[in-house]
Structure 1
């Protein structure tokens, strides 16, 4: 039985290049339908990297009141929709909670870059009187937390984590801590993306973006020909609550339990100390009281650069043995979503457990033999109870989270 003190996921809101909503995202993902293509949100011709995982067909006026649109960035609008869906899915009413009530913790890599880019253009081309007053907060990395808390009257503990790709897991871990401390429920996760020239320059500065023009060849982690990644936009937000409270109120759905988590930080390069991803995975398994042999699937960070792929492969081989566990990277269909990437992986892991299917890693045609991974290239039916999600943020952040299906 699930522990009476377990923190479980009772609501989920997904916004991704593979689909808006958990069902659409899962259907596309399990069938290997990628959402990566040429950038359409701005003219990418001057840039060496021109592909992205964009969310097609998103019309904010279909989902949000008009008063919110002038004060929000594209990324924040997506986050507001994901929060709306997660709360509705969970069937909880924040306004009915006693005392301070529920809270929200999100992750961000940069904040509202597109909004900031637009207002800076106005500043330099037209003058300061043309800059929106909302620029004072719409660009801020904590803006998603703020706007979600205002919209849903979430007056409990709130915060934001800034650890790039690892952020989605870090935010959920912080939300879990608050639930364990007695908060009725928490909204947590990450929605991210910077589809504008200013944000794109920041992405390109890492030197790790693919320059391929072919969406089928651009992002191929663990492949012999891996040469960088493709950025994207989107992510997932969740409702987390104590399992006993969820049962007492008759929660409609329990997707699974956040069973274990750990975070580590890589040492500076050249110091002779090993990378810390392996340690994060081992600590998360211990936190969950799970042995490596009990893990049914790993959702890999899948950086797509050979020097980073080998570090992850070495960590997986050390923990599980050569070809010791199925490994998948469905983010090859969306691109790397910054702080939203690991949150989306967690949503996909929970859905994989529910449906008993490991989604595929697309576009990898020549897995590098030296990695010794059981890389899932086609959707694989299997009984799934425990999944490990790994994430690494630019600058040395590592996070690992174990999720267990409802029992």
Structure 2
């Protein structure tokens, strides 16, 4: 029989809170966690708001020797991984190193660390950089550090597809499980909040310049004007089902199917991606999961907050579901857009929704923009088939979709 990949642990470190309970409370109450950027002085930039992990203490999750070698993005990964392992009831050191692997997504790498070192190189009296500059900024740094620290020596890797990578990492983890690796750490964290990182995002023309953090990021709304950047994300323990059940683990849900496509064209200043290729990724995920579109309880969209991209996403969803659109919910406006970390956070939200038997209401839109007429979930409701479709688009043409089957809370998650 084909091995089945299930999620047995969730670690959240995001603007919505540290830990699954804090995140779920933010989602249920619809509390916005975006505000002024404090990691650096953003006063000279048109975008001055974002989503930060408030009060984050990296020293609580890693020793100083590792912290000085790494960027805040990796510090968030240390924390989320420890929380996920604890949630799954697994030790911090692998009892069977080659049976454990790490497959995280990454996009922008160690921005804050790299910025500090390059400023010291060009503006400091020593005109030098520290030895760890060579590794801390690198997009695979978190995977490498985590695999070393936890002694996970299975088939490790890093997925790079901007926001879409947060879903690709779980697909890669499921494939690794099916090929014989019992436990895989998947998901993503992000920290795109530095002067250089903000400047790069501003160049896209997609950041919101709103003066009110409560109103600046409003996907699918008539007032949508772009997104707010955010840090953080979520990390998961993806485990082979029989391995999980043999040790009595709780199961949140199963990775049923996934699809990834590419537009095959560069993103232009007035483009909005290819809704046809985006819809194809969704269909691939549903087909591989062996479920019909009419069985989906809820869709979590990419929700970029850029009007032309919101309309394009609505076109793709209608192409897949026709007139029988399932409820749509998004919480990105509460936290900001954490790129690949944001897609992973969407997966955490869905799995927690099934665990609590509650599909959360969408955090907007208040007034649906023309062309974005979707069935936004306005009130909490219980799921029916416990099936979700989570979608993500990465800049420059990446499209991904993931089908998750939630475990029934009444039976402890056994399937």
TM-score by length of 2: 0.93
- Per-residue CA shift, 1:32-87, capped at 9, x if unaligned? 01111111111111111111011101011222212222111111101011111111
Tell me how far apart the structure 1 counterparts of residues 303 and 343 of structure 2 sit (CA, whole Å): 11
Partner of 2:14: 16
The alpha-carbon deviation at position 249 of structure 1 amounts to 2.0
Give 3-state SS (helix, strand or coil) of 1:366's partner: coil
Give the whole-Å Cα distance in 2 for the aligned partners of 1:83 and 1:61: 14
Partner residue of 2:256 out of 254, 259, 275: 259
Using the alignment, how far apart are the partners of 2:143 and 2:398 within structure 1? 21
Note the 1:46-57 alignment, pairs <5 A. Answer: 46-57=44-55
Write the deviation string for residues 177-224 of structure 1: whole angstroms up to 9, x where unpaired: 111111121001110122110111111111100000111211111112
The equivalences for 1:79-118 within 5 A come to: 79-93=77-91, 95-98=93-96, 100-118=98-116
Checking the alignment, whether the CA contact within 8 Å between 1:94 and 1:102 is kept in structure 2 is no
Cα distance in 2, alignment partners of residues 273 and 48 from structure 1: 29
Match of 1:400 in 2: 401
Q: 1:67 to 1:389 in 2, by over 3 A?
A: same
Cα separation, partners in 2 of 1:390 and 1:115, compared to 1, 3 Å: same
Q: How does 1:21-32 map to 2 (within 5 A)?
A: 21-32=19-30
Partner SS, residue 371 of structure 1: coil
Which residue is 1:308 aligned to? 309
Equivalence map 1:341-356=2 (5 Å): 341-356=342-357
Q: How has the CA–CA distance of structure 1 residues 370 and 247 changed in structure 2, closer, same or farther, with 3 Å as cutoff?
A: same
111-120 or 66-75: bigger deviation: 66-75
2:220 maps to 1:222? yes
Greater alpha carbon shift after TM alignment, 117-126 vs 362-371: 362-371
1:390 and 2:388 are equivalent in the alignment: no
Match of 2:280 in 1: 279
> What's the CA shift string for 1:332-359, capped at 9, x where partnerless?
1111111111111001010111112222
**Residue 167 of structure 1 pairs with residue 165 of structure 2:** yes
Measure the CA separation in 2 of the matches of 1:273 and 1:237.
29
Gaps of 5+ in 1: none
Judge conservation of contact 2:185–2:236 (CA < 8 Å) in 1: yes
SS in 1 for 2:3: coil
Cα pair distance change 1:69/1:393, threshold 3 Å: same
1:53-72 equivalent positions in 2, closer than 5 A:
53-72=51-70
Q: Distance between the aligned counterparts of 2:158 and 2:225, measured in 1?
A: 32
CA RMSD in angstroms, aligned pairs only: 1.9
Which residue does the alignment assign to 2:230? 232
How has the CA–CA distance of structure 1 residues 187 and 96 changed in structure 2, closer, same or farther, with 3 Å as cutoff? Answer: closer
Structure 2 match to 1:197: 195
Gap change, CA 1:388 and 1:273, over 3 Å in 2: closer
The answer on 1:364 being equivalent to 2:362 is no
Describe the SS at the equivalent of 2:99. Answer: coil
Q: Equivalents in 1 of 2:385, 2:59: separation in Å?
A: 39
- Whether contact under 8 Å (1:97, 1:184) holds in the other structure is no
**Comparing 273-282 and 374-383, the one that deviates more:** 374-383
Match of 1:207 among 205, 208, 212: 205
The CA distance in 2 between the partners of 1:242 and 1:81, in whole Å, is 23
Distance 1:39 1:165 in 2: 21
Moved over 3 A (4+): 93-99, 127-130, 269-275, 377-384
Give the SS at the match of 1:238: strand
Is the Cα contact below 8 Å between 1:364 and 1:377 reproduced in 2?
no
Counterpart contact for 2:115–2:196, Cα < 8 Å: yes
Q: Displacement of 1:96 after TM fit?
A: 4.9
The CA distance in 1 between the partners of 2:202 and 2:187, in whole Å, is 25
Which residue pairs with 2:328 in the alignment?
A: 327
Q: Output the CA distance in 2 between the equivalents of 1:358 and 1:25.
A: 14
The alpha-carbon distance between structure 1 residues 30 and 99, as it changes in their structure 2 partners (threshold 3 A), is closer
Aligned pairs, number: 404
Q: Using the TM superposition, give the Cα deviation of residue 306 of structure 1 relative to its aligned residue in structure 2, in angstroms.
A: 1.4
Q: Cα 1:45–1:128, aligned 2, differ >3 Å: closer, same or farther?
A: same
